[in-house]
Amino acid sequence: MKARDRVTPSAAVRTTSAAYRPRRDNLWFARTRNYTIFVLRELTSVFVAWSMVFLLMLVGAVLGGSLDEFAALAARPWMIAINVVALGATAFHSVTFLNLAPKATVVRLDGYRLPAWMIQGGNHSLWLLVSAVIAFFVLRGFR
């Protein structure tokens, strides 16, 4: 057999992979609950980014002296709707992200691994505490 007649493994793979092409499933994530939550958490990142942009717009309005114009923009019904959806999406993103912490973080005390519920509980408690402190100062300013 001559060298040009030999079939190399890469050539064999090329011919078989070209023969069968499975159809793409655009809803692959909807078949499993964990994948659905994963994709939704990734999509909510857009709303988290919007929240940051909105916050930066607020800071720019306060520093630039155009707070009245910003308040008029923020009071429009479509802006309120976007921010309500962004609040829900950001809360979903935060909860699901904090629930993943025990899988990414291993905490050991005296050689024993801390249970997942303790890491999650600590994360959620700290989130609640920081939110309460921020709410206290924000709501105190309205008196």
- CATH of residue 88: 1.20.1300.10
The conformational region for residue 19 under phi > 0 = left, psi -120 to 50 = alpha, else beta, is alpha
Residue 67 lies in a domain: yes
In Å, how far from its chain's centre is CA 132? 22
Residue 18 lies in a domain: no
Residue 22 lies in a domain: no
Residue 10 lies in a domain: no
Residue 104 lies in a domain: yes
Domain count along the chain: 1
* pLDDT one-digit tens code per residue, 40-54: 999 999 999 999 999
* pLDDT one-digit tens code per residue, 98-137: 988 888 888 888 889 889 999 999 999 999 999 999 999 9
Angle at 69 between CA 67 and CA 74, to 5 degrees: 90
Which pLDDT score, from 0 to 100, does residue 18 have? 65
Residue 130 lies in a domain: yes
**Dihedral over Cα of 63, 69, 75, 81: its sign:** negative
Residue 44: domain span: 30-140
